[in-house]
Amino acid sequence: MKKKWMAMAAAAVLISGCSSAEPASTNEQRKLNPLTGIQSPNNAHRAVAVVISNHPSARPQTALEKADIVYEILTEGGITRFLAIYQSEYPDKAGPVRSARDYFVELSQGYDALFLAHGYSPEAQDMLLSGEVDQINGIQHDGDVFKRDASRKSPHNSYVDMKEAFHAAEEKGYSLDDAPPRLSFLSDGEAEKLTGDSAAVFSIRPSANDLFQSRYEYDGHTYHRKIDQIDIEAENVFVIEADHRVVDAKGRLDIDLASGGDAFLFQEGVMNLVKWRSQNGRIVPNTESGPAFVPGKTWIHVVPASTGLNKAVNVEIDGEGNGS
């Protein structure tokens, strides 16, 4: 195992040493989507962050597959919840939408996103109602911006109508024209040269509850994950470990998303052990020089440091784990 970790650390150095031989022109940069690094005809609009349920009663979700970046993070009781960030395209509706936690709000602020949720924890409520965050919540907008699906049971039946959300945002005086800060991406040539431990199939188990285990398979171009019948694609799967602390009798969590730590980065069918850091509120690989994400969609999983990456992540090698 020690040799394995040394090999992965060496591979991490290879990633950190990558840098583009020639920077793209300003015009070329403008054509690249700030959150995916892929060419897009119009990038001059704001990101939108939506809190989406991952409870079994909420599956299959609507529009998760359209998000540019998705964070999957624990809430109470070993249940995960998503923060889906949309910018390259806006869905007509997304959901089921659930209540905010303070760490979802903080992550959203890193992308200067319009924040959409239905409900809030006490800590999140203080942040959202203070005026420091551009936000629309189902507590105040149930029935107009957030529509109920009669075929599903509450609280897993609230869906945000994006057109109505933008109308409400304009009424509140929120700007929708400013693109989020641009992420850095490897060039196609750099992505082709990536090395690391083979990781075509792997699973992530953030808690003891197997209902929230996810499994990814690489098809030679991208990673695929199934949530019920919905196919999720991601070019980057970034699994970070962070300190989790229970803060109240309901099991709400305080999660340290500022201090950085160890992470597994999956891309191009390989895995590398890297460090993560908070870049102005956004979780990114902490490399010595240059970018680390390949162009495309990114899923970021946050697992407890007390569990650890090796226990939370299982890489299948010849049909058996654990290669991590």
Quote the percentage of the chain above a pLDDT of 90: 85
Distance CA 134, CA 45 (A): 15
- Give the full edge-to-edge strand order of the sheet including 223-227: 230-234, 223-227, 214-218, 201-204, 313-315
pLDDT at 24 over 90: no
pLDDT at 321: 63
pLDDT at 35 over 70: yes
Domains of the chain and any CATH numbers: 2-33+182-241+261-274+285-315 (no CATH), 48-171 (3.50.90.10)
pLDDT at 58: 97
| Average per-residue pLDDT for the chain | 91
Helix (H, G, I), strand (E, B) or coil at 32: strand
160-164 average pLDDT score: 98
Distance CA 22, CA 306 (A): 42
Q: For 92-121, give the DSSP string.
A: SEEB-B--B-HHHHHHHHHTTPEEEES-B-
Q: For 237-303, give the DSSP string.
A: EEEEEE-EEE-STT--EEE--SS-EEEEEEETTEEEEEEEEEETTEEEE--SSS--BPSS-EEEEEE
- Indicate the burial class of 31 (C-beta count within 10 angstroms; 0-12, 13-18, 19 or more): middle
pLDDT at 2 over 60: no
pTM of the model: 0.90
Q: What digits encode the pLDDT tens for the residues 60-82?
A: 999 999 999 999 999 999 999 99
pLDDT at 42: 85
Which one is predicted more confidently, 18 or 211? 211
- Termini Cα distance of the chain: 9
For 27: left if phi > 0, alpha if psi spans -120 to 50, otherwise beta; the answer is alpha
All residues at 6 or more sequence positions from 289 whose CB lies less than 8 Å from its CB, including other chains: 16, 17, 18, 19
181-190 average pLDDT score: 94
- Do 265 and 285 meet the contact criterion of CB atoms below 8 Å apart? yes
Distance CA 21, CA 14 (A): 15
Reported as a pLDDT band with limits 50, 70 and 90, residue 248 is: very high
pLDDT at 247: 94
